[in-house]
Chain A
Amino acid sequence: MRYLYWIPLLLALGSCSDDGEYIEVEQDERLTVTLPSNFPPMVYDVEENPPTKFGFALGKKLFYDGKLSANGFISCGFCHEQRFSFTHHGHQFSHGIDDLEGTRNTPSIANMAFFSEFAWDGATSHLDLFPIIPITNEVEMGETMTGVLQKLQLDETYQKEFNAAFEEGGVSHENFLKALAQFMVMMVSYNSKYDKYVRSEDGVSLTEQELQGLNIFQEKCASCHTTDLFSDGSFRNNGLAPNPSLNDIGRAEVSGSVNDNYKFKVPSLRNVALTAPYMHDGRFGSLESVLNFYRNGVQDSPTLDPLLKSENGLGIALTENEEQALIAFLGTLTDEQFINDERFAEY
């Protein structure tokens, strides 16, 4: 029985092609990683872990497999839903096993390969290692890395898939994390209306209101939401009043520095119209509420970002008309192609 698994593997390696039988076997092949011309350079080193057809397929399977959690039901895709740009739409906090609830809102995982710090507080600085955090968090997936591996090692299909995807095969932590990373590295959202406009593709133009919004955005928002990733990846306190029942100190949990109190990573705004609720704790249900907060709700504290503090007061001055224009502009960042891309789809 066992040798049967080896036949396709050996064929895939091309060493048994002359055995006289005409069996069509898929070859593994390297996938092309998208590097949009309007993006900054990719941070992730794809040469260390080049996405391949089999590696990507394995990563996708793992992403949607509840085996990665303690009770067998909570997959990565449970909280990261494609149609909401891989966020948990409608949920203020991420939900985990046994109906437990986290304390932070599920962030999008589009364009992760272009960033160097991950999670709201930058708890890890390598994309490969990120999955350890939700997998082992007791209110998210509640597993251990070793526990996940033991389950996968018992699964003969996974054994085959790991061996096919990696030269140094085997169901190991290294290959497990590499496969998940390959799946995430391929998730590039770059075909919104805005992208086509800035790349002068398909004759796409923005409406007058969207253009007005873009101008306001560049003037008042783009110092933090920089580049066409719409984030500089830094940690900032944007002046949210801390939720007293959580008192989440953000970046300071990682750095141990009071200077980082209440700082959170500047989120990308790609697909932002789809990713409500907003902020690290999902407190705002609409973009209107977010902008109203920047107009009227910013609270001073020792770590408030200096960009939100001027002689004219706290926050960002916006008229009602400007707010509507900004929301119209933010709508142009929705990438229908990305959220409907079958390569990333669960079913």
Chain B
Amino acid sequence: MGWEAVYLQQVINGLSLGAMYALLALGFTLVYGILELINFAHFNVFMVSSFIGMMALEFFGLSGQSHILTGLALAGVMAFAFVATMLVAGLLGVAIERFALRPLRGIPGTVGMITTIGISYILFNLVLLTKGAGSFNFPNPMPRVAWTIAGATLDLREVLIWGVALVLMTGLHLFVNKTRIGKAMRATAQDSEAARMMGVDVDRVIVMAFFLGSALAGAAALIFGLYYNYTSFIIGYTAGLRAFTAAVLGGIGSVTGAMVGGIIIGLIEALGGQLIAVRWTDVIIFSILVLVLVFAPTGLMGRANPTKS
């Protein structure tokens, strides 16, 4: 491998990571944009979703990497797995909002945020107790198809990750900007009181934000499992923290910002590991978080909102 090929390969790796972080970052940003709440339960909604995705694939009798599907069967199984995982993850997010956060709404301060940390631990320990602490071999029915481009390897899985992420992010963008409920979401984000006065059902908007954010975490979790063929009760923390950094980097509350931030963090992780050393990756990423918070607290795409302090 020449150095060009190595860097191209690291960019491919970084884009795959970035697509995952971006999907996960969108969940932070959607909820923050509307409630100004950092939802730490999102970390482990992602983790729980990876187990749901695994069950969805095992439902078809798939296990490990030895069952390979092609053509329509593959497309059908994948579509089912994505829809099922995203639906269950979305409902989990809605349940968290309904039972743990709605009763606390209107209470000022950090109560809501602390509650989400509590929920995060409950989910974490629930999976630990029911599934055990081992590493799980995540089924992957995709054939091992790869293309060589200028010495770098592009795997079918990577193409799928980019494709799914692109479709979901475009869909979200259109949803937020073109539909009625999307307009209501934007209105609530700007000023929930005024939106309520204009007849926007704020509760419905909040439920929608939790559903969409968690469903995207579900998609990210399934992608994570298919990419690494691995899951464990512990995966939420590192991925969640990086996605959160991506959301802050892009400007928390901004949908485009979360996508851009995710891709940037993914590329930094891959290229930083190549140029410096992998053990410095976290130092680099979290230094960026600190620098953004100090010098550009609104992030790359965020705007200081005049109606909020």
Query: Do A and B bind?
Result: no
